[in-house]
């Protein structure tokens, strides 16, 4: 059949709150134009993130009731551990309360001042946790991944030429690990190919540099490989996942994405020595190794979610839903990161709002306008999130791209919700020339976009 339907029935619903434009204008002023600070009850459609916002299945809710809350040796942990071992081939599993906790433990254990961590593209919390250790996060994305309108099947690939150049320049001794984020969230939710993962691992092995995969959206990446990488068209997603992670030495994951979890994450390793390096910090800051900051009910639900996410009927629906959203916007001439990613549509705010310079945050301006127009919350991924400051020259440096991400929570919204958001974007697009830029009036050193205050220019 041509029509792709949701591979589930809706069993429980919660009401949405409709507001007026005047009400939303008041809200924006009260939160100083930072959408993170808006109360959830004042949002109609919340596409801020797909992290922790997905709908859990009936089997996951049953798992919540079965959760074993024993402090040590919880049976729910062993189900969680066994699922990760079977799915990813990693024998050693360390649960954490979410992905950034896994990042903090990993980087606190591995990094020292002056170290360098290459990646295709680091996401915001990854970069911040690296920089907090006084190390440097380097993005080595292929050039195709920096051109929003260019069609390329694997725009999340890490550039091997750039990686070789980096190792030659700084020496392998300053690179304690390399990260591949799949899919590449900061670059438009774009996948990395299995061939690229293999080649990166083969190169790193020459220098004994371990490869870690940020696996937040591993199932979506595997499905793209099945669709776009010829040797794997007939492979199951489960087989592709096994092949992907056969090249990894370790995993860090926020299980709030492809784990269908409202909370949770983990580290997983192939070698026991990395457990010994990280477990003491886990116990100090997260909890005993068989719960790691999570309730037994969360561990139980995540074990089920990690198995459910590789269902190919679900992945077909998920990827097609995002593509549908993108196709409708392309028909309206809205510039996007193309092809569509796995979990979100990314509007190219730089090209949509040509009259707003990068340091006046066109992405933030567009995100604010989408909320003002229709109560839709999105997030800026541009110079507000990733802009830097050159201390030597006392000069702000904009990000490579100015994007607005509309991330769809899994199994939570229907096509009519998406159609409404498309209509909101269309209305904003028609008056794009009237949108004003913004300036930051206050904000912290790390992860400023979460709490910064803005004002119109």
In this predicted model, what pLDDT tens digit does every residue of 137-188 receive, in sequence order?
A: 999 999 999 998 899 999 999 999 999 999 999 999 999 999 999 999 888 8
Q: What mean pLDDT is predicted for residues 315-344?
A: 95
- Check residue 369 and give its pLDDT: 97
- Asked if residue 1 has pLDDT above 90, the reply is no
CB of 252 closer than 8 Å to CB of 102:
yes
Contact 282, 266 (CB under 8 A): no
Placement of tokens 């434009």 in the chain: 21
Q: Is the pLDDT of residue 43 over 90?
A: yes
Residues 376 and 421: their CA atoms lie apart, in Å, by 7
pLDDT tens per residue across span 73-104? 999 999 999 999 999 999 999 999 998 899 99
Confidence of residue 403 (pLDDT cuts 50, 70, 90): very high
The model's pLDDT over 346-385, given as tens digits with 9 standing for 90+, comes to 999 999 999 999 999 999 999 999 999 999 999 999 988 8
Q: Is the pLDDT of residue 445 over 80?
A: no
Give the model's pLDDT for residue 249.
97
Is the predicted pLDDT of residue 307 greater than 80, yes or no? yes
pLDDT at 80: 97
412 is catalytic: no
Q: What pLDDT shows up at residue 4?
A: 83
The enclosing H or E element of 416 equals helix 415-430
What local confidence, expressed as pLDDT, does residue 14 receive?
A: 92
- Compute how many other C-beta atoms are within 10 angstroms of the C-beta atom of residue 271: 14
Summarize pLDDT for 187-223 with one digit per residue, the tens.
889 999 999 999 999 999 999 999 999 999 999 999 9
Catalytic residue from among 384, 449, 452, 454: 449
Banded pLDDT at 425 (limits 50, 70, 90):
very high
Q: What are phi and psi of 237, to 5 degrees?
A: -60, -40
| Residue 107, pLDDT above cutoff 90 | yes
Out of 68, 124, 139, 348, the active site residue is 124
| Integer Cα distance of 425 and 427 in angstroms | 5
Which residue ranges does the chain devote to CATH 3.40.640.10?
A: 58-308
71 within 8 A of 299, measured Cβ to Cβ: no
pTM (whole model) above 0.85: yes
Higher pLDDT, 444 or 245: 245
- 272 is an active site residue: no
> Is residue 449 annotated as a catalytic residue, yes or no?
yes
- CATH number for the domain formed by residue range(s) 58-308: 3.40.640.10
Percentage of the chain beyond pLDDT 70 is 100
**Phi/psi at 381 (5° precision):** -125, 85
* Confidence at 124, pLDDT banded by 50, 70, 90: confident
- The band of 276, judged by pLDDT with boundaries at 50, 70 and 90, is confident
Specify whether 123 is catalytic.
Answer: yes
Residue 386 pLDDT exceeds 90: no
32 labelled catalytic: no
Give the model confidence (pLDDT) of 234-265 as tens digits.
999 999 999 999 999 999 999 999 999 999 99
What pLDDT is recorded for position 349?
95
**Residue 38: its pLDDT value, please?**
97
Residue 405 and residue 48: Cα distance in Å, rounded? 7
pLDDT attached to residue 160: 97
Which residue in the list 101, 119, 192, 216 is annotated as catalytic?
A: 216
> In angstroms, rounded to a whole number, what is the distance separating the alpha carbons of residues 455 and 436?
10
CATH, domain range 21-50+311-456 = 3.90.1150.10
* Residue 72 bears catalytic tag: no
Is 361 catalytic? The answer is no
Q: Which of 77, 92, 110, 123 is catalytic?
A: 123
CB contact at 8 A, 64 and 297: yes
Residue 396: pLDDT band by 50, 70, 90 thresholds?
confident
- Average pLDDT over the chain reads 94
Catalytic residue among 71, 207, 389, 446: 71
Q: What is the mean pLDDT of residues 424-437?
A: 96
CATH 3.90.1150.10 positions along the chain are 21-50+311-456
Of 155, 201, 256, 257, the active-site residue reads 257
Of 289, 283, 412, the C-alpha closest to 343 is: 412
């Amino acid at each position: 059949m041509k029509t792709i339907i949701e591979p589930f029935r809706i069993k429980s619903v919660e009401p949405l709150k409709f507001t007026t434009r005047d009400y939303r204008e008041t809200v924006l002023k009260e939160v100083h134009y930072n959408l993170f600070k808006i109360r959830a009850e004042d949002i109609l459609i919340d596409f801020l993130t797909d992290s922790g916002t997905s709908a859990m299945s009936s089997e996951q809710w049953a798992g919540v009731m079965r959760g074993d809350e024993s402090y040590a040796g919880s049976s729910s942990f062993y189900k969680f551990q066994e699922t990760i071992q079977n799915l990813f081939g990693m024998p050693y599993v360390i649960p954490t309360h979410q992905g950034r906790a896994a990042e903090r433990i990993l980087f606190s254990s591995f990094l020292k001042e002056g170290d360098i961590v290459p990646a295709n593209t680091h996401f915001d919390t990854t970069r911040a946790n690296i920089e907090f250790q006084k190390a440097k996060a380097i993005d080595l994305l292929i050039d195709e991944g920096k051109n929003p309108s260019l069609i390329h099947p694997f725009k999340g690939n890490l550039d091997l030429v750039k990686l070789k150049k980096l190792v030659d320049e700084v020496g392998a001794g300053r690179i304690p690990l390399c990260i591949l984020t799949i899919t590449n969230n900061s670059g438009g939710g774009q996948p990395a190919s299995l061939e690229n993962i293999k080649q990166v691992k083969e190169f790193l092995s020459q220098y004994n540099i371990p490869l870690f995969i940020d696996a937040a959206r591993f199932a979506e990446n595997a499905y793209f490989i099945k669709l776009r990488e010829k040797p794997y068209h007939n492979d199951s997603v489960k087989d592709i996942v096994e092949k992907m992670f056969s090249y990894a030495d370790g995993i860090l994951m926020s299980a709030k994405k492809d784990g269908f979890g409202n909370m949770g994450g983990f580290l997983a390793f192939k070698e026991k020595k990395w457990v010994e390096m990280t477990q003491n910090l886990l116990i100090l800051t997260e909890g005993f190794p068989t719960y790691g900051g999570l309730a037994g009910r969360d561990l139980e639900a995540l074990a089920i979610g990690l198995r459910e996410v590789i269902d190919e009927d679900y992945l077909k629906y998920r990827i097609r839903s995002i593509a549908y959203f993108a196709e409708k916007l392309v028909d309206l001439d809205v510039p996007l990161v193309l092809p569509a990613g796995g979990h979100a549509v990314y509007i190219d705010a730089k090209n949509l709002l040509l009259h707003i310079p990068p340091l006046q945050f066109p992405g933030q301006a567009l995100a604010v306008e989408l909320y003002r127009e229709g109560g839709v919350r999105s997030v800026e991924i541009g110079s507000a999130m990733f802009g830097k400051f050159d201390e030597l020259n006392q000069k702000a440096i904009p990000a490579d791209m100015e994007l607005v991400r509309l991330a769809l929570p899994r199994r939570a919204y229907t096509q009519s919700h998406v159609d409404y958001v498309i209509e909101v974007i269309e209305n904003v697009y028609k008056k794009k020339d009237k949108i004003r830029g913004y300036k930051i009036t206050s904000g912290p050193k790390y992860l400023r976009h979460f709490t910064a205050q803005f004002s119109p220019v």
